Structure 1
Amino acid sequence: MENLVTNLLGIHFPIIQGGMGNISDPNLAAAISNAGGLGTIGVGTTSVEECDRKISTMMENTDRPCCVNIPVSVHPEVSRIVEMVIRKEVPVVSLSAGNPAKILPRLKEKDIKVICVSSTVKQAKKAADAGADAIVCEGYEAAGINSLNESTTMTLIPQVVNSVSVPVIAAGGIADGRGMAAAISLGASGVQMGTRFVATKEAMFHRNYKESILKATDESTIIIGRPANKIRRILKGNYADKLSEIEDGPIEMFMEKTGEEYHEIGAVEGDTDNGFVNSGQIAGLINDCPSVAELMETMVTEAKETLKGSIGIL
């Protein structure tokens, strides 16, 4: 499925793994790269030393292109992370959650491909003007930290495609070949997924997390944090109820209770009474747990058949 994104990144399928912050699994990322996509380690708020270890594990387990996601305004030592990915010769970096302008030139001078995550046309244009090689446009259907703008993927993608000259990658609300075909029809050259990769054989998350995705319906996620202007999409549950109760209170408490420590408690330890799990709205469509390779092969086949079928209707 060769196109602008596969040629740019040197991958086989235009499928990219979203950054998963502190719960990022280097073996899952390597499996995605080995299967022809672009596996990604998200640094979140993880220590530089732990990030180094995870990236080393990812790169030792694949000889294919892989990626590190840096949330610009989230990690306390962004400069050290940037220098580390340069030293380790990571081929692709994605920048999110902040202005990439100061970081992007340093990466580009080392011939690193840079993807910038945007949630508005304005952000996408600024990133492209600053030298981004590709733009990930994330609608608010997506899991985890989200944009206050709350634009949907379907409305955001064509507007960004019309506004930038670099390849656009769709994120939020995609879990199968039909979603991939829809994104391509809107002008995207690839897709980014997070929730769908949670429910795969190689993902080393707690079984409670996987099972909650498999049991989810279209009404199983909730947006928290609107009163604090810090919105996040997570799965409903006991801890989510607690967060809803405190989101009107002091922002310091809300920020503490939605920190990565509590993300790890939910996703890695499986304790959803005392921690949360991120999930996109598309979770209700996910009802199996294939290998990464099986998932991507199936998606691409389904996307091609869907696109052919759409042309046939016309």
Structure 2
Amino acid sequence: MDREIRKLNDTLVNIFNTVMKMEEEAIQKASYDDISITEVHTLEAIGTGRARTMTHVANILGIKVSTLTTAVGRLVKKGYVRRFRDEADRRMVKISLSERGARVVREHEAFHEAMIRAALSGIPEDSISRFVESVGSINDFLLMRRSTAYARKREFKLSAMKLAGNELPVPIVQAGMSIGVAGSRLAAAVALEGGLGLIGTSEIGWRTKGYDKDPLTVNLRVIEEEVARARKNVEAGGGRGLVGAAVMWTHRDAGKYVKAAVKGGAQVIVTSAGLPKDLPAYCSDRKIALIPTISSRRAASAITKTWTQKYNRTPDGFIFQGPLAAGLLGFKESELEKACGDRYKIIAEVKAELGKLENCPLIVGGGIACREDAEKVYDYGADGIMMGTRFVATEECDAVRRYKELYLNCTENDVTIIRSPMKTSVRVMKNSFADSLAATGRED
């Protein structure tokens, strides 16, 4: 095994050196000969899309802004980069590629694609996916090692965070539990203390007159009313926290729910259960924070890429819903045991991905019940925490008293994991309904 490890090490080093050499040779043969490979990589980080700030590009490259400023200055003189002040905020300097710079990036991308295709041509078709998976595992390890830079060695402190156009004084998010559990009363109480109170939108109007005949109309009206009521109570009480709405993206009326919440004055929209790739289509106001809930780095990357290309915006934050959360989970039941063991690794990976974005905080939920739990996720990069179960038993929670008592009397043996009708794992309290779902995988 030692010989294999040495061979793998030598191979990885040789691959790195060979690729670097090939890149340098490609530059010499290309249409541009006054630029280094490091400068080409800087152009790639700037990207061919919308203009970016210096901080954004520096985060992508993993260098200091001062170092990038010097490099960009040279690229501007050579005609590869444009540097200008943002029209909306003259204090902000942005950079983008000139046509010459964009041509360099396109040529370099074509070089890499040709190189990879040539390398894969010697591998049997049925082995390519296994090879890609193995290389991905090595990359994941290196990414994890890189993520140690996000470990916080300073004293644990809950600091205010920016969410789009608003500041959240206390970075604690109350989960948007649905079907009337988290309504205006609970959300307002949390926001009055400086946190983010979320109103659960799914079937929020089930206790309202007319719901049985026209549930959609009633739900939309109640969403708007509940959000507006919470905002009014927070403003009247002088609270500095925020009020938002939680929307399950797999719900057929998710987009309409978002619009109703925005109409009611929601300052934050949080989505769960699915990738909200078209969420910005339902909320164009950039002062309202759009925060998807994810369970992996890949999900964060996919959402960011789609939003950037289609809507010219990026998420205002992400919530990582870990494997220890109550309710819907982003993992199959067969994956949960491994996910629990990899929980902190996944947090670090997600944080590393968000490091490429500007002002994109990471909020971590699931299994956080005390200060020690919060400190642990902060060590791996969390900027805030989300809690749900602890809020259910409060006096301010909108659920009926009997429901709260079930939580108070619940033990670990009373909890189980089943497959929900949406084909995702869900952690629930044992009862006849849960038993039915566990047995059939669907509602009776």
TM-score by length of 1: 0.71
Structure 1, residues 154-191: CA drift from partner, whole Å, max 9, x if none? Answer: 34211211222221111111122111111111110010
- SS of alignment partner, residue 163 of structure 1: helix
Corresponding residue number in structure 2 for 1:145? 328
Q: Which residue of 2 aligns with 1:231?
A: 425
Closer/same/farther in 2, CA of residues 176 and 83 from structure 1, 3 Å limit? same
Aligned amino acid, residue 348 of structure 2: P
The answer as to whether partners of 1:48 and 1:77 remain within 8 angstroms in 2 is: no
How many angstroms does 1:5 deviate by?
2.6
Correspondence 1:94 to 2:284: no
Aligned partner (choices 374, 382, 396) of residue 188 of structure 1? 382
Paired residue for 1:272? none
The aligned residue for residue 195 of structure 2 is 37
Say if 2:227 and 2:243, in contact at 8 Å, map to a contact too.
Answer: no
Once the two structures are superposed, residues 205-229 of structure 1 have per-residue CA deviations (whole angstroms, 9 ceiling, x without a partner) of 2333322322333333111117983
Q: Kindly indicate whether the alpha-carbon contact (under 8 Å) linking 1:137 and 1:156 is maintained by their aligned counterparts in 2.
A: no
Structure 1 gap segments, 5+ residues each = 248-253, 258-314
Equivalent-residue separation in structure 2 for 1:209 and 1:79 (angstroms): 29
Tell me, in whole angstroms, the C-alpha distance in 2 between the residues paired with 1:175 and 1:2. 15
Distance 1:124 1:4 in 2: 22
Per the alignment, in what secondary structure is the counterpart of residue 51 of structure 1? helix
Aligned pair 1:54/2:230, yes or no?
A: no
Counterpart amino acid of residue 249 in structure 2: V
* Larger relative contact order (CA 8 Å, sep ≥ 6): 1
Aligned residues of 1:144 and 1:234 also touching (Cα < 8 A): yes
For the residue of structure 2 that corresponds to 1:84, the secondary structure is helix
1:3 pairs with 2:159: yes
1:263 matched to which residue of 2? Answer: none
Pick aligned residue for 1:157 from 320, 343, 347 = 347
Deviation at 1:2, TM superposition (A): 5.5
Give the AA of the match of 1:196: R
Render the CA deviation track for 1:258-277: whole Å, top value 9, x for unaligned.
xxxxxxxxxxxxxxxxxxxx
Structure 1 residues 210, 126: CA separation in 2 closer, same or farther (over 3 Å shift)? same
Shift in CA distance, 220/38, structure 1 to aligned 2, threshold 3 Å: same
- Assess, with a 3 A threshold, how the Cα gap between structure 1 residues 48 and 207 changes in structure 2: closer, same or farther: same
2:354 maps to a residue whose letter is: V
Q: Which runs of 5+ in 2 are unaligned?
A: 1-156, 205-218, 236-240, 308-313
What is the aligned-residue RMSD (CA, Å)?
Answer: 2.4
Contact 2:188 2:231 in 1 (8 A): yes
- Equivalent AA in structure 2 for residue 5 of structure 1: M
Q: Spell out, residue by residue over 1:192-241, the C-alpha distance to the aligned partner (whole angstroms, 9 max, x if none).
A: 11111102121132333322322333333111117983321101234333
What per-residue deviation string (whole Å, max 9, x for no partner) do you get for residues 51-101 of structure 1? 122212222211242111122221x32333233233333211112222322
The letter for the 2-side match of 1:60 is K
The AA in structure 1 aligned to 2:276 is P
Structure-2-length-normalised TM-score:
0.52
Tell me how far apart the structure 2 counterparts of residues 95 and 228 of structure 1 sit (CA, whole Å). 15
Task: Tell me if structure 2 keeps the 8 A contact 1:21–1:43.
Answer: yes
- What does residue 184 of structure 2 align with? 26
* C-alpha contact 1:104 1:132 (8 A) present in aligned 2: no
Query: Could you tell me which amino acid in structure 2 is paired with residue 41 of structure 1?
Result: I
Q: What is the letter of the counterpart of residue 368 of structure 2?
A: I
**Which whole-Å CA distance do the structure 1 matches of 2:277 and 2:160 have between them?**
23
**What pairs up with 1:251-266 in 2 under 5 angstroms?**
254=442, 256-257=443-444
Q: Is the 8 A contact 2:168 2:242 kept in 1?
A: yes
- Identical amino acids, percent of aligned pairs: 27
Is 1:67 matched with 2:244?
A: yes
Name the aligned partner's letter for residue 61 of structure 1: N
Number of corresponding residues: 249
Asked whether the equivalents of residues 163 and 316 of structure 2 are also in contact (C-alpha less than 8 Å), the reply is no
Take 2:350 and 2:290, find their aligned partners in 1: how far apart are those partners?
17
In terms of fraction of residues, the more helix-rich structure is: 2
Distance 1:176 1:108, change over 3 A: farther
CA spacing shift, 1:85–1:177, aligned 2, 3 Å: same
Give the aligned partner of residue 78 of structure 1. Answer: 254
SS at match of 1:182: helix
8 A contact 1:40–1:66 mirrored in 2: yes
Q: Is the Cα–Cα contact under 8 Å of residues 148 and 229 in structure 1 kept in the other structure? A: no
Give 1:213-292 correspondences, 5 Å limit: 213-225=407-419, 229-247=423-441, 254=442, 256-257=443-444
Map 1:93-132 to 2 at 5 A: 93-104=269-280, 106-129=282-305, 130=307, 131-132=314-315
Match of 1:203 in 2: 397
Deviation at 1:19, TM superposition (A): 1.5
Structure whose alpha-carbon radius of gyration is higher: 2
The residue identity in structure 2 corresponding to 1:67 is G
SS in 2 for 1:68: strand
Contact kept? 1:4, 1:167, Cα under 8 Å: no
Residue 423 of structure 2 aligns to a residue whose secondary structure is coil
